[in-house]
Amino acid sequence: MKVASLMLVSFCCVCLMLVGCSTTSSASSPENTAMSQTVADKDAKMAWWREAKFGMFIHWGIYAVPAGEWKGKDVRGPGEWIQTRGRIPGDQYDQLAKQFNPVDFNADQWASIAQAAGVKYIVITSKHHDGFCMFDTHATNFNVVAATPWHQDPLAQLDAACLLHGIRFCTYYSIMDWHTPDQSPHRPSSTAPEFSPTNMVPGKNDAYVAYMKAQLGELITGYHPSLIWFDGGWVHGWTAADAQTIYDYIQSCDPSIIVNNRLLYGVGDYGTPEQHIPNGGEQGDWETCMTINETWGYMSRDKDFKSAGTLITNLIKCVSGGGNYLLNIGPDGLGRIPEPEVQRLLAIGAWLKVNGDAIYGTTGSPFKSALPFGYATQKPGKIFLEITDWPTDGILRVPLSNVVIRAYLLTNPNSSLQVSPLLSTDGGGTQLVLPANAPDPVASVVVLEISGDPQPL
């Protein structure tokens, strides 16, 4: 990011800090309601996100210390749920903060890996369901600066590192909170509590919404997230009014901040399918979030990592479907990204270095149904074919009736491929002759330069 842009961003940040967030804003103030957001406003807000396509989710907290094991026994995952899955009483769980000392954490290294992976935005947990805050909040001492021997603020360091690496900093915030007195455990017990779903303590909604606004105000004015990723809205007693109040509050602080749909009740800017990729029909903006192995938060025994080929294909599937891909990593208790995750991230980055033009800034496939040989994305005047099943006879039949001005491999743009229209008796469309061998073992990209808008058969 150029110095001038850095100075402008810093100036805006200072202004925002000076202005701060109006803690009095509420859904009742019309200028702050979501309804005042026009389509043009929404498009302007979503523009960078729609271009970005690929984000990195980071689940990191004191749950990385036990890493899926409690008192010598494996606790079923995911790692960030160990408090409730392990039925750990709050006073015992809270002691983990005293063991959290991630001396190997290096924000610049994390941002460098993300940049090499081709990631354009990072979403990191500021507070997960356990209520532990991974940032320097004044709203509770149950936070990484006050309650750990480490006394550092990883979100501040990562925010700064993202700025230097040209990556958007975003943060995750859980509505469900197993630590706050404003929510009661599902099954309170001094020896084996079960926390999820929690219940809002009757009459405590306003107090908890005020707590959320205080922390969101700190995050917005101190860390300038481009997006806030809510989660855990399934708390019994969490209301539509609460959701709208929080959304409108964020917009009153900074209308450019994107909010996902997990405040619930139809509030928010985009959908968040989890651990699966929609196979069509999604309305509006959406982003699939997915683990790289089986768990969000670090579990030392979870070695079930998806292959790099699967992850690259998942990214292509998401973008071809018109969505984004938010791929999760789970750093360990010392602040290290597990090596198998680093290897996969770098493999994705290597593929994007060659084929990124087919991903970043594209829109979804123009074809009416799935392609037998792979996927497609598009930009004005171009269709990108991501071929995962290279034709053994070298002939590619594309269900497109446009005149194809030129076709070429993205890896060899100066060498045009033979293109011929197929007779209607042969089903119509366009036929390409491809080289015998695919340039890439996972997905090779063929570019079609077309005249006019795509006309799929």
289 binds ligand FHN (CB under 6 A): yes
CB of 438 to ligand FHN, least distance (A): 34
Half-sphere exposure of 392 (CA within 13 A, CB side): 0
Q: Residue 185 or residue 391: which is nearer to ligand FHN going by CB?
A: 185
Q: What distance in Å separates the CA atoms of residue 297 and residue 338, rounded to the nearest whole number?
A: 12
In the bound state with ligand FHN, the residue whose beta carbon lies nearer, of 80 and 182, is 80
CB of 309 to ligand FHN, least distance (A): 23
Q: Of residues 259-278, which lie at the interface with ligand FHN (CB under 6 A)?
A: 274
Residue 287 touching ligand FHN (CB under 6 A): no
- DSSP readout, 142-200? -BTTTSSSS---HHHHHHHHHHHTT-EEEEEEES--SS-TTEE-SB--SSS-B-SS-EE
**Which residue's CB comes closest to ligand FHN?**
296
Q: Which one of the spans 28-36, 73-81, 158-166, 180-188 is the region binding ligand FHN (CB under 6 A)?
A: 73-81
Say how many residues touch ligand FHN, by CB under 6 A. 7
CB of 426 to ligand FHN, least distance (A): 46
| Least Cβ distance, residue 59 to ligand FHN (angstroms) | 6
- Cβ neighbours of residue 337 under 8 Å, at least 6 residues apart? 110, 113, 329, 331
CB of 356 to ligand FHN, least distance (A): 26
Count of C-beta atoms within a 10 Å radius of residue 94: 18
Q: Which is nearer to ligand FHN, 27 or 327 (CB)?
A: 327
Ordered DSSP codes for 294-363: S-SS--TT---PPPHHHHHHHHHHHHHTT-EEEEEE---TTSPPPHHHHHHHHHHHHHHHHHGGGTTT-B
Compute the distance between CA of residue 269 and CA of residue 260 in angstroms, rounded to an integer: 5
| Cα–Cα distance for residue pair 258/44, rounded to 1 Å | 11
Single residue of 54, 178, 296, 390 touching ligand FHN by CB under 6 A: 296
Closer CB to ligand FHN, residue 304 or residue 389? 304
Q: Please report, as residue ranges, which positions from 74 to 133 form the binding site for ligand FHN (by CB under 6 A).
A: 78, 80-81
Q: How far is the CB of 288 from ligand FHN (least distance, A)?
A: 10
The verdict on 231 binding ligand FHN (CB under 6 A) reads yes
Positive or negative torsion for Cα 232, 236, 240, 242 = negative
DSSP class of residue 25 equals -
User: Minimum distance between the CB of residue 276 and ligand FHN, rounded to whole angstroms?
Assistant: 12
The contact set with ligand FHN (CB under 6 A) reads: 78, 80-81, 231, 274, 289, 296
